[in-house]
Amino acid sequence: MADHKVLAGAHVVLPTGIVENGRVIVDGGRIAGSAPEGAERIDLTGHWLVPGFVDTHNHGGGGASFTSGTAEEVLKGVHTHRLHGTTTTAASLVTGDMDFLTERAGLLSELAEQGEIAGIHFEGPFISPCRKGAHDETLLRYPDPAEVRKLVDAARGRATMVTLATELPGGLDSVRLLADHGVIAAIGHTDATYEQTVAAIDAGATVATHLYNAMPALGHRAPGPIAALLEDERITVELINDGTHLHPAALELAFHHAGPERVALITDAMDAAGFGDGRYMLGTLEVEVKDSVARLVEGGSIAGSTLTLDRAFKRSVTVDGLPVESVVQAISANPARLLGAYDRVGSLEPGKDADIVVLDAEFNLRGVMRKGAWIVEPAVPATV
């Protein structure tokens, strides 16, 4: 009986809708369909039970960088985000030289093989100098398919996504290569036109890297990539809902046009997430975090975020007024599908990993369970 827990009395968000006074049964590390008599019962009346959050775009946290940290430091960053409800994290790398990125891919692939991270996202170096954001322009390069293949091979089957400015020479061929190897080709840090973006989608691109940011604005005569990415049902759009990267109207526009089934809420977090203000390094560039907003010391460009997904969840519901079910889809189910992991995570269904987040009535995080073990144990009584 010790391995069985019944989380009872909560609003349970399932793929089919919200179950009032519902329950989720945990058997060891999995969600079960039934529980034996005498199983531990945890009363979560008035709380919400939602699936563990899944972040496909995350550069670090807790003072640790996925781009430059040791394995132990990377794990510290992963754990920081677990404390905030993200039970599945893909580690994102910023631009570096090719030898450095292949070395990092080797280190991170080992952590992926151990189940600590869900895979590797290469955000650069194959991006536009016109839309580089917080990437070192001196290290940018064209997306030569041979070099893209080199990074994919270095990840040993653990590459999840590569962000590309697909209008650059080699861009479309690189998209096709990634699609052939089962790696997401994401359009981002791009200066592409509408027509060039459509061509990239037709070539196999399926994700928009942090939509709106690091790409041309939507125009009435030159709609640019934003219109192409929002209108195409093959594209999932990443959104950073931290109150800095997006105006609420832009968030609403994306949810309206793409629908909740095509949105993935991400953090794009850097090492200051869950840690505090101060000076940090993002790749080769120095960042100052002030009032939780990260900007490059030189130039002032936004440099990722300090967001955690529990804050994104609460903001999406309480500030933006999105339905809870839509937010769960965008913060758990959709990114799990992108990572090819929806058979294990992303919803509270029997047979899946017991990755569960407990939220109170105001959508503050109160508990986090990963594979049946509490990372943050809710302060509620347990009964038998």
The reply, when asked if residue 82 is annotated as ligand binding, is no
The reply, when asked if residue 210 is annotated as ligand binding, is yes
Strand pairing partners for 269?
Answer: 305
The reply, when asked if residue 47 is annotated as ligand binding, is no
Output the CA–CA distances (angstroms, integers) from residue 106 to 43, 76, 221, in the order listed.
44, 18, 45
The reply, when asked if residue 81 is annotated as ligand binding, is no
292 φψ region: left (φ > 0), alpha (ψ -120 to 50), beta (else):
left
The reply, when asked if residue 245 is annotated as ligand binding, is yes
| 291 given a catalytic annotation | no
Taking the CB of residue 128, how many other CB atoms lie within 10 A of it?
Answer: 23
The reply, when asked if residue 256 is annotated as ligand binding, is no
Strand pairing partners for 25?
Answer: 6, 32
Angle, in degrees to the nearest 10, between helices 194-203 and 224-231 = 40
Question: Contact 358/365 with Cβ under 8 angstroms?
Answer: yes
The reply, when asked if residue 135 is annotated as ligand binding, is no
Query: Dihedrals φ, ψ of 226, to 5°?
Result: -60, -45
Report the alpha-carbon distance of residue 319 to residue 322 in Å, rounded: 8
Report the alpha-carbon distance of residue 216 to residue 166 in Å, rounded: 14
- Residue 74, SS3 per DSSP: helix
The reply, when asked if residue 213 is annotated as ligand binding, is yes
Q: Which of 89, 252, 93, 63 is nearest to 163 (CA)?
A: 93
Tell me which of 27, 232, 242, 268 is the catalytic residue.
Answer: 268
The reply, when asked if residue 214 is annotated as ligand binding, is yes
Catalytic residue list: 268
Which residues contribute to the annotated binding site?
123, 134, 189, 210, 213-214, 221, 245, 302-304
**Binding site residue list for Zn(2+):** 123, 189, 210
Annotated binding site for substrate: 134, 213-214, 221, 245, 302-304
